A and B are shown apart, each in its own frame.
Chain A
């Protein structure tokens, strides 16, 4: 049984990783061919870093992901606190609206926002660009923050906030001193999730970006529709390495955290 399990997982991972390794291998291929490996080279990496379009889109992507996730985290945390104080019915209504962007097909969200922006762009004299992208990203990011913060608020003892206020904290101070530390894990995972979604989003950005605000996924898309250069493989490899590093580091830290916590528990006992 154990062996079959291992074999099964091995096959699963082969399926999941084979395409990625193909990209990595061909990023070092001397010829442009996708089928013949003719020799080893780093040229595509050099070309990649010299490719202004890719680099600007990378900059755009990072900027949008950072700003959108920060704004979403603030907006979403505030909203979650407000929602949690509502009575059941209005809260359910709010949560349902909040969930629309998550449930709705991405393409419909993208198209609907595009219609909205087109309508206002004509009347308020603004253009598609970083602004519209940012609005769109915040719109699909906040729901994840709300969903991550809500359960933490529910677990929290509602009286400690009131107690803090009764002990002389003003509401703002009480929030930062008492509530925020309690819900912090939810806030942070909401932030990370919205950051990740923003980084990776293609469909919604495709419909809401302008002429000078291409994000990396959009650039990748237009690259796949032209003569494909192995630069795209080099880019995949770098993204893969960054992702692996981040996840491995995260994993190690988590494990260390867990160990420490276990030790603390032991000490307390």
Chain B
């Protein structure tokens, strides 16, 4: 019997032993402005916990691609514990009740406001983030975080519709196509309340930041109407589902639309003419973090032009980093998806604001009720 156990363990450990080799880099390959700054803690054997969206960093998974976290580890000697979430609301829940200790998080604009309001973030020390100078002026002093006290922009973008060119015949695609019965069972929908409500609100002509209970309820009704047509409520699962032609239409973030179009010829992406949400995702340090120095260093690293460019190229999202932007190919700059023209951005896009507690609660309840309906 003991023999058996040792066999079990041996087999399992044998599997573990192969794990000795990994994708750790011996030497950093990225060029940074101030190497000494990054090497301060090199020999201390420290680590930080980074909590980011899924598919939201260059991870070296394709040839020639930078592995940002591995570069950071090689450069600074600081180990990165990298985990991912799928929605702002999930991040919020994990921060509020999960007891986890993150040092870096990357919420969107409205969630940053909410976290500031609820005293969940740490003020930043810009002397430790010299690379913040590369952030374009238009992204400074944003309404969600006046004075940039708590956040440094990471990416921005708009929300649009990913569609299968073979299945969708319309040339003029706008939000109402997601309610078109012709595509029943072919539609994927956002699995988070804020983005889903926004689409309903756009169709109904409401503000994306409405707190009016009636309007919120009507938006929820609109979503309930759509439910029979929806194949699945998903987030990053759309990559696989749209790629494998499991579905024909899916509202999603422009950056991921770009990535999908690059990977699959049959997919197209459109930013609806009638208007959309414009978002900024920015890097923050949670109040509970005990590793401010390391966290600032990580933020600074993400703002390195070379790193920002690698990220922008892989994840497809638009960059607020001026030097990275200059180096992005004209093809991407002019495709009208990642960097829509100013006229559209100024007139047709709305940035989410944090809603009042009551409106947030109502939206949440309506969302759960909508999802629970059969």
Chain A residues packing against B (C-beta within 8 Å): 32-35, 47, 49-53, 55, 58-59, 62, 66, 114, 117-118, 121-122, 127-128, 132, 184-185, 188, 191-192, 195, 210-212, 214, 222, 225-229, 238, 242, 245-246, 249-250, 253
Residues of B within 8 A of A211 (CB): 49, 51, 81, 83, 100-102
B35 CB within 8 Å of chain A: no
Inter-chain contact B11/A246, CB cutoff 8 Å: yes
Inter-chain contact A185/B100, CB cutoff 8 Å: no
B235 CB within 8 Å of chain A: yes
* Interface class of chain B by DSSP: mixed
Inter-chain contact A225/B54, CB cutoff 8 Å: yes
What per-residue 1/0 map shows which CB atoms of B268-292 lie under 8 Å from chain A?
0000000000000000000000000
Question: Complex Cα distance A208/B235, Å?
Answer: 24
Question: Complex Cα distance A249/B4, Å?
Answer: 8
11 chain-A/chain-B pairs, Cβ below 8 angstroms: A47-B61, A51-B23, A117-B99, A128-B98, A192-B8, A210-B99, A212-B81, A226-B236, A227-B236, A227-B240, A249-B4
Residues of B within 8 A of A249 (CB): 4, 7
Residues of B within 8 A of A53 (CB): 82
Question: Complex Cα distance A253/B7, Å?
Answer: 11
Residues of B within 8 A of A34 (CB): 240, 244
Number of A-B contacts (CB under 8 A): 110
Residues of B within 8 A of A128 (CB): 98-101
Residues of A within 8 A of B102 (CB): 211
Inter-chain contact B11/A242, CB cutoff 8 Å: yes
B371 CB within 8 Å of chain A: no
Residues of A within 8 A of B97 (CB): 114, 118
- Nearest first, the 5 A-B pairs at minimum CB distance are A212-B81, A55-B19, A211-B49, A227-B239, A226-B54
What per-residue 1/0 map shows which CB atoms of B205-248 lie under 8 Å from chain A?
00000000000000000000000000000011101100110000
Inter-chain contact A62/B16, CB cutoff 8 Å: yes
Inter-chain contact A242/B3, CB cutoff 8 Å: no
Besides A58-B15, A184-B1, A249-B4, 17 other CB < 8 A contacts? A50-B23, A55-B22, A62-B12, A118-B97, A118-B99, A128-B101, A132-B99, A191-B5, A195-B8, A211-B83, A212-B81, A222-B84, A225-B86, A225-B236, A225-B237, A227-B54, A253-B4
Chain B residues packing against A (C-beta within 8 Å): 1-5, 7-9, 11-13, 15-16, 18-19, 21-24, 47, 49, 51, 54-55, 61, 70, 81-84, 86, 97-102, 235-237, 239-240, 243-244
Residues of A within 8 A of B81 (CB): 211-212
Question: Complex Cα distance A160/B19, Å?
Answer: 49
Question: Complex Cα distance A225/B236, Å?
Answer: 6
Inter-chain contact A59/B16, CB cutoff 8 Å: yes
Question: Complex Cα distance A33/B7, Å?
Answer: 36
Inter-chain contact A250/B19, CB cutoff 8 Å: no
Residues of B within 8 A of A227 (CB): 54-55, 236, 239-240
Specify which of A49, A118, A127 is in contact with B101 (CB 8 Å cutoff): A127
Chain A residue nearest to B60 in the complex (CB): A50
| Chain A nearest CB, measured from B199 CB (Å) | 21
Residues of B within 8 A of A250 (CB): 4, 7-8
Chain B residue nearest to A218 in the complex (CB): B83
| Max count, chain A CB within 10 A of own CB: residue among B2, B61, B83, B239 | B83
Question: Complex Cα distance A110/B108, Å?
Answer: 29
Chain B residue nearest to A239 in the complex (CB): B15
| Chain A nearest CB, measured from B74 CB (Å) | 13
Chain B residue nearest to A118 in the complex (CB): B99
Question: Complex Cα distance A245/B9, Å?
Answer: 12
Specify which of B1, B13, B22, B49 is in contact with A62 (CB 8 Å cutoff): B13
Contacts A59-B19, A225-B86 given: A52-B24 contact, CB under 8 Å?
A: yes
